[in-house]
A and B are shown apart, each in its own frame.
Chain A
Amino acid sequence: MRSIILRTMTMYLLPLLLIFSVFLLFRGHNHPGGGFVGGLVASAAYSLYLLGFGIDKVRSIFRIQPIKVLAFGLFLAASSTVFPIFFGKPLMTGVWYEHKLPIVGSLGTPTVFDTGVYFTVLGVTLNIIFTLFEDKE
């Protein structure tokens, strides 16, 4: 499926979808959205690119092994649950930075956890899709 329409559209859609996924991630704390949806949108962006340009091209713009992304996400999420212990609070208690940041909004361990979920979902999905396409070619 190397249609010129898909290729041209993907060139524009990829950055847009990635930005949108980050928007969803940070909006997610009190509104619909969040790490899971954000991760799915981001992996959808790369999947579209893959459909348009093929596996080698995707690998050249996404150089990290997906499993490393997955590991990074898990590490981030797991760290955010342990973090409160250093403040003398039980595991998984929410710890918040008191000031609001631009873009991110309020920053705290749940935000970090959500970011971890984002990367985990991205890593898992890309790992599956990359594996499937490699077998084919």
Chain B
Amino acid sequence: MNSILAMPVVFPLFTGIIMLFFWKHRQIQRIINFLGSTATLALAIYLTWYIKTSGIQCLYIGAWKAPFGIIFTADLLTMTMILVSGIIGFATSIYSLGTMDETREHFGYYPLLQIMIMGINGSFMTGDLFNMFVWFEVLLISSFSLVALGGERSQLEGAIKYVILNLLSSSLFVVGVGILYGITGGLNMADLARKIPMLPNQGIVNVMAMFFLISFGIKAAIFPLFFWLPASYHTPPAAVSAIFAGMLTKVGVYALFRVFTLIFVTNVAFTHTIIIIIAMLTMLSGVLGAASQMEFRRILSFHIISQIGYMILGLGLMTPLGIAGGVFYIFHHIIVKTNLFFVSGVVNELKGTYLLKKLGGVLKLYPLLGLLFLIPALSLGGVPPLSGFWAKYTVAVAAVEKGEYLALAVSLFVGLLTLFSMIKIWNEVFWKEQKAEFAAEQQALRQLPKFKIAMMFVPIILLAAITLFIGLNPEPFLDYANEAAQQLLNPSIYINAVLGGAQ
């Protein structure tokens, strides 16, 4: 049987539970957490290879056949996400060893982290819309705790905004699921994909599509719905905001990709045009927001939003190249963005602040850190030959092929402004001489234990190496993305794999 498909959920679950037995034993929890995330990463690599060679696989939970029971389905898009969540989980586990403070570790930081990864993996794996809602709740509840863990004043302020807007999104999601169930009588995604084109009243399908666009849009932080993100992502510790920045919004993007290539494809002229317009506005508002910020992590937070725009643009184009570009973009973006947040955390450890005005001269202290910042930063800006260039290039070519010249212009302009923001951080944090008054007060912070430094640099080097590898060797990744796009654009493959030939 295909029970191995459930393992990306089961591994983090058991890691989390075993750590509960060692409540208040910091060292043991750290070791278990590291072992658990290593196992999850190894499993993700194996599973990706397995799905790549054997096609879409399903697991019927509890042996209830689709469309009646809950199923886990793995296609190439799913595997992209599982793989990258494995990588990020692994990197964050190591990074937490170096940066997480004792109080947070005492109050269950590691179990929460594992349970959140379980929720993330579950929402990628599931082939059932209501089950996806449940996994969203799992990951949200643990992320609520993670964002507020520690209870600093600014953290609680950010947590409130984060919690309220995400709860709003969840309630819209569950309302949408309810109405969809009411009109089709099913929640299995493959089953929905089969039933929706046969509905007599296509108007209500558009309404449903907008429900899901808004609900997932809040989670993915698209244009008018992104305000919670820059308000909350810069408040928790760097390790937490790094995994949030990498994975959480991308769960929303994944959900958008899933429902708008599988379920809501009956009226592409309406729904996907809206997505393209939203994508352009998302890119612009994100990058302009970043230009006005003077705090390290707030700039990066705004850039998450503008980058989401590119992914959604790929989805909105709905051509093989567009979707492939979107998938490639997600993969590249998660790695790069997490890495940038890691770097910001290291700077904070060295200097004790995230404010650009108070920073400076880091390049002289740690030339290596400067290089490690430049790789993801230039990749984010789309400088060849780094991974971001290929991602942007693919999406841009797809836009030209579709004749969306405005979207092309916007995406190129936004790329330029992204580069501008990254150069701004480079200038302020690494290049310029630090003002003497700030340098003096930060002198004491510079002495960090060797172990801490190693644990901070290892994941950054790992992710930068992946970025470089994708950049210099994009061919296999683009092939993979193309194949994933083929699967997404031919929903019949997915539907047949889930429901079998009998339907």
Contact = CB atoms under 8 A, between A and B. Distances in A.
Given A68-B23, A88-B1, A93 B17 contact: no
A82 B10 contact: yes
A92 B23 contact: no
B21 interface: yes
A33 B17 CA distance: 26
Interface stretch (A4-12, A18-26, A54-62, A71-79): A71-79
Given A78-B13, A78-B14, A90 B20 contact: no
Chain A contact residues: helix, strand, loop or mixed? helix
Most B C-beta atoms less than 10 A away, residue of A72, A82, A94: A82
Contacts of A92: 61-62
B238 interface: no
B128 to A, nearest CB: 14
A90 B14 contact: no
Contacts of B59: 90-91
- How many chain A residues sit at the interface, stated as a range, is 10 to 19
A104 interface: no
Interface in A65-102: 65, 67-68, 70-72, 74-75, 78, 81-82, 85, 88-94
A91 B3 contact: yes
B333 to A, nearest CB: 32
B380 interface: no
Nearest to A92: B62
A70 B17 CA distance: 9
Nearest to A66: B23
B63 interface: yes
Contact of B6 (A67, A70, A88, A91): A91
Interface in B1-25: 1-3, 6, 10, 13-14, 17-18, 20-21, 23
Interface of B is mostly: helix
B270 to A, nearest CB: 39
Contact of A90 (B13, B18, B62): B62
B98 to A, nearest CB: 27
B60 interface: yes
Given A65-B23, A71-B21, A91 B61 contact: yes
B20 A67 contact: yes
A85 B3 contact: yes
A90 B17 contact: no
A88 B4 CA distance: 11
A81 B10 CA distance: 9
A71 B20 contact: yes
B2 A78 contact: no
A78 B2 CA distance: 18
A74 B20 CA distance: 9
A68 B21 contact: yes
Given A70-B20, A71-B21, A89 B10 contact: no
Nearest to B19: A71
A120 to B, nearest CB: 10
Contacts of A74: 17, 20
Nearest to A88: B1
Contacts of A65: 23
Given A71-B21, A75-B14, A89-B63, 15 more contacts: A65-B23, A67-B23, A68-B23, A70-B20, A72-B21, A78-B13, A81-B10, A82-B10, A90-B2, A90-B3, A90-B59, A90-B63, A91-B3, A91-B62, A92-B61
Interface of B: 1-3, 6, 10, 13-14, 17-18, 20-21, 23, 59-63
10 contacts: A71-B23, A75-B14, A81-B10, A90-B1, A90-B60, A90-B63, A91-B6, A91-B10, A91-B59, A91-B61
10 closest residue pairs by CB, A with B:
A71-B20, A92-B62, A85-B3, A91-B6, A93-B63, A74-B17, A71-B21, A67-B23, A75-B17, A92-B61
